[in-house]
Structure 1
Amino acid sequence: MPGQIHEVTNQVPELYGNNLFLDDTILQAGVKRLHGQWHAGQLARYGAELGSKETWQLAELANRHQPELNTFDRLGNRIDVVDFHPAWHALLGLLRREGLHALPWIKPQSGSHVARAAGYFLHAQVEAGSLCPTTMTFASIPVLQQEPALFAALQAKLLSCEHDSRDLPLDHKNSILIGMGMTEKQGGSDVRSNTTAATPLAGGSGRGAGYLLTGHKWFFSAPMCDAHMMLARTEMGLSCFFVPRWRPDGSKNPVQIQRLKNKLGNRSNSSSEVEFRNAFGIMVGDEGRGIPTIIEMANHTRLDCVIGAAGLMRQALVQALHHARHRSAFGRLLAEQPLMQNVLSDLALESEAATLLMLQLASAFEQADDPLQRAWRRIVTPAAKFWICKRALEFTGECMEVWGGNGYVEAAPMARFYREAPVNSIWEGSGNVMCLDVLRAIEREPAGFGLLLEQLAEVAHDHPGLRSMLDDLLKDLATPPEQREMLGRRFVQRLVLTVQGALMLQHAPAAIAEAFIASRSEAMGGRVYGTLAAVHLQQQILQRTWAQ
């Protein structure tokens, strides 16, 4: 062009056209090992679609054009409608088509939870906001199944693989999405302080009966979902309710959206503040047992927080590797420089351990009657949510640093990844809440925890490093009860690292597993990436991670 004063060189090309599943040997091996191989062909097809330029553009558009609240129509009628860019609905259409909202119930066979987790992990690498209503719909199914009459009316619409964006009564929808409304202004994670009141309608009370709800929710996730699961207070205490957007008579349920949250990240998805003005709801579960009823839903959402954070880490790593293999500084490629290799290798170990853990947890959700797998679900899931989501924050920041200033601008995906990372730590209970839940679960299920420790001891038997980590964990466990809460984070961190070390020993090459355990148990290593002592393994680690 006339007036051009320089040639553009040493800039990294956009990463399009790769297959997110076929490029990930660790994910592929885990899916096969944990009985999800029957879904591998579909995952490969979806991995290619997610890696396409077109899908990345959908993600960018959905986050640039954020949801908009329309409280009234032009005539002054109250409508409480949130409008989305078409890219948002296109992304939800992909998720729905892949069955990521309900795959274990659509295809109930061995490995179905693992297959679904792998698909969710892939989608999380491209766009995370659209996963929120998908997760809540997925998590609602085990709870709604406890109410046979209600579930019978909803089952076909819950399991449908079609996305129906229309704002209509349930009877007129081809498919539905379910959201959640848990926290109130005064309580946050302390849902026992909720004040929203539920009054029974004429004709009965208790589970399956209709109620009128009055109150508010401070975080009402995805307000355009067709119904929400939430807590409200009856005379017998907090109970769980299914609250649709439309009443059974076809009129709009008075769930009034006060405003949308202006969030740091997760911008494609809408979160809101709402008020209930005699809104209709159906009680799910026993009256006064709302928290135990909805905790089943929370356990599934916690798993998805782990999967989503691990997916975010994986894509941030891939983007960092891609950048380092194309960008030169001081006379050679970044990927050829020893200190950068150490950083990237350390990140690769972290990502692999996170991937192994999320797949193992997904597999545990399939084995409802196995006491050991119940311990994985009940004890390791909140521990993993605490640790993996925490690590994702540092991890995405480190990957952004690999990009330098180019990673700090919104034109590239790294800034979006970094803004996205905190939400999984905060959603459904932040770090302290998860650690306290781990301690409670151990106290309530000591036999299951004993089985978990036996499993870890068996793996650690011939490995001094892992055995030392397990010994330190047991010492923390022997802390007097009055001191245990204060040490909750220390204990949970050790638990997760011991579990990850065991998984690495079982499923990674021995030298790579050894490098992970040594670096995570070494006090001088701290939490800074790039402190690996096993420098001779860096090329092997990076080639295993992403051989592009």
Structure 2
Amino acid sequence: MLSTHEVFNQPAPLVDLNLFDTNRALQAALAFNAPGLDTTGLRALGATVGSAGMQAHARLANVFTPQLKTHSRVGERIDQVEFHPSYHALMREAVGAGLHGAAFGAAEQARGNAHLRRAAGFMLFTELEPSVLCPISMSYAVTPALQDNAAIYRDWAPQLTSRDYDPALKVWRDKPGATMGMGMTEKQGGSDVRANTTRAEPAGRDGWGQRFAVTGHKWFFSAPMCDAFLVLAQTASGLSCLFLPRVLPDGSLNAVRIQRLKDKLGNKANASSEVEFLGATAWLVGEEGRGVPQILAMGTMTRLDCALGTSGLMRQALSIALHHTTQRKAFGKYLIDQPLMKNVLADLALESEASTALALRLARAFDRQHDPHEQVMARLLTPVAKFWICKRGSHFAQEAMECLGGNGYVEEGGEGIMARIYREMPLNSIWEGAGNIMALDLLRALRKADAAAALAQELAPARGQHAALDHLAARLPLRVEEMATEMEARRLAQDVALAVQAALLAQTAPAAVFNAFCDSRLGGHWGHSFGSLSAGTEVDAIIERAMPR
């Protein structure tokens, strides 16, 4: 009680819940993609990331953002980034959960479904704090690429697949675990990495193979405190992929100068930087002049993480909105009992479950690359999922924020998480290729002769279950075979995403969810904003399925 008024009608914070146990859509997608999957580890992670203590770490890591220290107190050049202790607590949990390169360890591979289990864990952790997942995702993508230099992989794989986190800047052999990043884009090129000007001159050979001296810059160099990076530089044979450690084998700091940290819209806990290389030492990975194909292979894996991350943020925003509206009253009844609010919440729940289903279906394909059908689906669905799920993210976050009104817009308190989600959403859409890049990549994927047949096979289990889906599914293979022009590429990516999402929901979700998704997204019974489902939609059943408690 304050001296002027009593505080009431304020929702309690959404803390201390198991994010895995309360996510029915995630559980259904896992059961579909890997029947009988052991989810013990995911359940434990769900409890950890849903705890009040870890949520406090997430808040502190975003309030007390990274600080660049270019020089020591005595004037030595050190080029280090200082983080709040909560950042390291989050990193320790993410690495301990195996969300980085652990998926490529022998033990994880032997268990099977390594990428799918890791994908589900990545989504759960995103609900806690997505910023620290930047170095985690890059370590995941880079680890298998190092196999193109057997000597480096032999030395570094034990640390990159280890579940121990060590933030110290020291030589790799003295660390129980390590992380890696990437340095690709430059000022003049951005996504057009062929325009890179950074050059690498031969500097001899040693146990790690051909050594180079790298001179130039990177405009985006995320997580500069990682232990090593894969970078692109021009060699005599063209753009090549190079392994560049922060600390050299002799223990000295490599010649990487951090110019400044990026002041970003979101992703505040993660340090993204601009750097220069002053003859930095690096080693060739793979074939000289073949850097672009290597980077594209790594980009495929980080694009999966973009879809997973956005799906996780959607689930978090939906959970907060549902939790808030069950406790907040307006005009005489709880918000969740207001018919129009039910429409909005049910619509958001449909989007969240469809995104979860598509993202985890893609992760399954990564586990089954020995299967020709899964090879095609991985190539086809990677740009589709990255494009569509991430495009929906910002709109989704805005609508979820509106469910909280002004409380969702402020940056403090438990509901301040919603503002953080909103600022984070555009990142996954931009990172690793914005919408146009993804749509064009889809066109390249469609050049595979079996793309249309693979898509038809993917949609076949849902045939006859909804007229709107049947209509779309009948036309898509022909459109795929005709390989739409660039002007139509975004529309095609959208339609492939919606068709696959609907087919997945037919196999994983209750009829109320599947029918509402098809009626709205495919059948035209929908407007141009969330909350425009038709009057006959079973909103109560959809909302009940999505409830976070």
| 1:378 and 2:379 matched | yes
For the structure 1 residues 462 and 350, does the alpha-carbon distance in structure 2 shift closer, same or farther, using more than 3 Å as the test?
closer
CA RMSD of aligned residues (A): 1.7
SS in structure 2 of the partner of residue 145 of structure 1: helix
What is the total number of aligned residue pairs between the two structures? 543
Equivalent of residue 452 in structure 1, options 450, 455, 458 = 455
CA distance in 2, matches of 1:457, 1:490: 22
| 1:440 and 2:441 matched | no
For the structure 1 residues 524 and 23, does the alpha-carbon distance in structure 2 shift closer, same or farther, using more than 3 Å as the test?
closer
> Which residue pairs with 2:419 in the alignment?
415
Instruction: Report matched runs for 1:16-95 at 5 Å.
Output: 16-35=15-34, 37-95=36-94
Give the superposition deviation at 1:35: 2.7
Q: Which moved more, 1:429-438 or 1:46-55?
A: 46-55
Cα deviation, 1:334-384, whole Å, max 9, x if unaligned, reads: 000111001100100100001111111111001112121112211111111
For the structure 1 residues 265 and 410, does the alpha-carbon distance in structure 2 shift closer, same or farther, using more than 3 Å as the test?
same
Contact 1:367 1:374 in 2 (8 A): yes
Cα deviation, 1:271-322, whole Å, max 9, x if unaligned, reads: 0000011001111111111011122211110001110000000010000000
Q: Which amino acid in the other structure matches residue 50 of structure 2?
A: G
Contact 2:446 2:481 in 1 (8 A): no
Cα deviation, 1:161-214, whole Å, max 9, x if unaligned, reads: 111010112222221110011100000000110111011112489x93111111
Instruction: Report matched runs for 1:151-190 at 5 Å.
Output: 151-190=153-192
Q: Which amino acid in the other structure matches residue 144 of structure 1?
A: L
Q: Which moved more, 1:239-248 or 1:36-45?
A: 36-45
CA distance in 1, matches of 2:59, 2:500: 36
Instruction: Report matched runs for 1:67-466 at 5 Å.
Output: 67-106=66-105, 107-108=108-109, 109-203=111-205, 208-411=209-412, 412-443=416-447, 445-466=448-469
For the structure 1 residues 47 and 179, does the alpha-carbon distance in structure 2 shift closer, same or farther, using more than 3 Å as the test?
same
Give the superposition deviation at 1:89: 0.3
Structure 1 gaps, min length 5:
none
Contact 1:387 1:496 in 2 (8 A): yes
CA distance in 1, matches of 2:292, 2:481: 30
> Which residue pairs with 2:518 in the alignment?
517
Contact 1:36 1:115 in 2 (8 A): no
Contact 1:82 1:224 in 2 (8 A): yes
Contact 1:59 1:126 in 2 (8 A): yes
Structure 2 gaps, min length 5:
none
Q: TM-score, normalised by structure 1?
A: 0.96
Contact 1:133 1:179 in 2 (8 A): yes
Cα deviation, 1:487-527, whole Å, max 9, x if unaligned, reads: 11111101100110110111112232111011002446244
For the structure 1 residues 90 and 36, does the alpha-carbon distance in structure 2 shift closer, same or farther, using more than 3 Å as the test?
farther
Contact 2:103 2:140 in 1 (8 A): no
Q: Which moved more, 1:524-533 or 1:71-80?
A: 524-533
Contact 1:142 1:296 in 2 (8 A): no
Q: Which moved more, 1:144-153 or 1:186-195?
A: 144-153
CA distance in 1, matches of 2:262, 2:548: 41
Q: Which amino acid in the other structure matches residue 459 of structure 1?
A: A
Contact 1:372 1:451 in 2 (8 A): yes
Contact 2:465 2:506 in 1 (8 A): no
CA distance in 2, matches of 1:64, 1:413: 12
Give the superposition deviation at 1:391: 0.6
For the structure 1 residues 323 and 203, does the alpha-carbon distance in structure 2 shift closer, same or farther, using more than 3 Å as the test?
closer
CA distance in 1, matches of 2:4, 2:461: 66
Contact 1:374 1:448 in 2 (8 A): no
Cα deviation, 1:251-288, whole Å, max 9, x if unaligned, reads: 21111000000000000000000001100111111111
Give the superposition deviation at 1:37: 4.8
CA distance in 2, matches of 1:472, 1:30: 26
SS in structure 2 of the partner of residue 149 of structure 1: helix
Give the superposition deviation at 1:476: 4.2
CA distance in 2, matches of 1:238, 1:204: 22
| 1:470 and 2:473 matched | yes
Q: Which amino acid in the other structure matches residue 506 of structure 2?
A: L
Give the superposition deviation at 1:474: 4.4
CA distance in 2, matches of 1:294, 1:536: 45
SS in structure 1 of the partner of residue 487 of structure 2: coil
Instruction: Report matched runs for 1:536-547 at 5 Å.
Output: 536-546=537-547
Q: Which moved more, 1:152-161 or 1:196-205?
A: 196-205
For the structure 1 residues 547 and 315, does the alpha-carbon distance in structure 2 shift closer, same or farther, using more than 3 Å as the test?
closer
CA distance in 2, matches of 1:423, 1:170: 30
